[in-house]
């Protein structure tokens, strides 16, 4: 369970909806509200004291929004010093021993057209704890619609069947995060239509087995194998033994995002890594693209290779 949750805030309008939803996270008991005071690069001498005092006052106001939630709440305002903000967030997450970091996709300094802010991107790429990136349906000029009571009501679970790629499924099952899930596997390559068909058939058998296992655990699950939109064929191989693979770069992420829209998923839960990842790979490319470009909340479940 996610008993202790860290919520970094820049006091933008995107913070309040997160606080309204945090009580819906299964198992949450304690919340740490964090604001990072960044230095002024133009100031010759800069003291963060007044800024920290002002930030603590604002954090106490945000704390009141959780007054009736029954949660234990701790507020922290810290100076970034010369560190980047995502590094400060990671340090606090480690020191406070939190199990989940919850962040908005957009912050106060977000640029128009940018779907994921730089601080959230930093935590996504370099973080150690599970990360929930919150997004909300909204109309121009209106307040975001609340996802709160539905946050884990209809979870989309992509997997590539690798040990790393099963991390999110195991987390949902082990922590009882959801009662209704949709399993999906995206077939993204094949040397021929026949091979693609064979891959789909094999994947469906594996996905059905996972579905049945979740059903035994009391979780309602559906299973669907889909094929990424065809891209330009690429030729691999040497010495005359070339094989043509029909690959759409980014096609897996595109298919996951479009499926989440079609199925009206409340959250996409993904493992931080997938098949064939290397030790120095900080996060898988598919989950990075989904978290960066998706329109639904994304739960990134961190996977660590076993020694």
The predicted pLDDT at position 129 comes to 94
Q: Which range marks the domain in which residue 27 is found?
A: 4-134
E strand or H helix that includes residue 258: helix 251-262
Same domain, 41 and 158: no
The enclosing domain of 20 has a CATH number of 3.40.50.620
Q: Is residue 147 part of a domain?
A: no
- pLDDT digit string (tens) for 117-129? 788 888 998 989 9
Same domain, 199 and 126: no
- Residue 88 makes CB contacts below 8 A (sequence gap 6+) with 36, 78, 80
Same domain, 100 and 175: no
Using the 3D structure, point to which of 101, 134, 167 is the last residue of a domain: 134
Q: Is residue 93 part of a domain?
A: yes
CB burial class (10 A; 0-12, 13-18, 19+) of residue 185? buried
> Across-strand partners of 6?
32, 101
Residues of the chain with pLDDT under 70: 39-47, 106-116, 136-149, 230-250, 276-282, 305-307
> How far apart are alpha carbons 34 and 50 in whole angstroms?
16
Same domain, 50 and 80: yes
- pLDDT digit string (tens) for 213-262? 999 999 999 999 998 875 544 443 444 444 444 444 458 899 999 999 99
Using the 3D structure, point to which of 103, 134, 165 is the last residue of a domain: 134
Same domain, 127 and 156: no
Same domain, 52 and 162: no
The predicted pLDDT at position 96 comes to 96
**Alpha-carbon dihedral sign for residues 230, 233, 238, 243:** positive
């Amino acid at each position: 369970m996610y008993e202790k949750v860290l919520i970094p805030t820049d006091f933008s309008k995107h913070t309040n909806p997160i606080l309204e939803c945090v009580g819906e996270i299964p198992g949450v008991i304690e919340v740490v509200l964090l604001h990072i005071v960044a230095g002024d690069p133009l100031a010759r001498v800069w003291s963060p004291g007044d800024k920290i005092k002002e930030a603590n006052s604002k954090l106490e106001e945000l704390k009141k929004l959780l007054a009736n939630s029954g949660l234990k709440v701790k507020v922290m305002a810290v100076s970034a010093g010369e560190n980047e903000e995502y590094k400060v967030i990671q340090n606090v997450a480690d020191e406070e021993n939190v199990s989940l970091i919850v962040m908005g996709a957009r912050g106060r300094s977000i640029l128009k057209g940018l779907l994921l802010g730089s601080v959230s991107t930093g935590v996504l790429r370099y973080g150690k704890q599970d990360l929930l990136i919150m997004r909300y349906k909204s109309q121009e000029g209106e307040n975001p619609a609340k996802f709160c009571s539905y946050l884990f009501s209809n979870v989309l679970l992509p997997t590539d069947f690798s040990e790393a790629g099963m991390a999110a499924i195991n987390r949902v099952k082990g922590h009882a995060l959801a009662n209704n899930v949709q399993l999906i596997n995206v077939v993204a390559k094949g040397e021929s239509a026949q091979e693609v068909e064979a891959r789909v058939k094999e994947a469906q058998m594996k996905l059905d087995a996972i579905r049945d296992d979740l059903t035994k655990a009391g979780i309602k699950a559906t299973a669907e194998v889909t094929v990424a939109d065809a891209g330009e064929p690429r030729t691999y191989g040497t010495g005359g033994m070339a094989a043509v693979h029909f690959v759409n770069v980014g096609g897996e992420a595109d298919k996951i995002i479009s499926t989440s829209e079609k199925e009206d998923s409340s959250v996409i839960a993904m493992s931080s890594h997938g098949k064939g990842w290397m030790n120095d790979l900080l996060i898988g490319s598919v989950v990075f693209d989904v978290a960066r470009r998706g329109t639904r909340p994304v739960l990134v479940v961190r996977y660590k290779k076993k020694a």
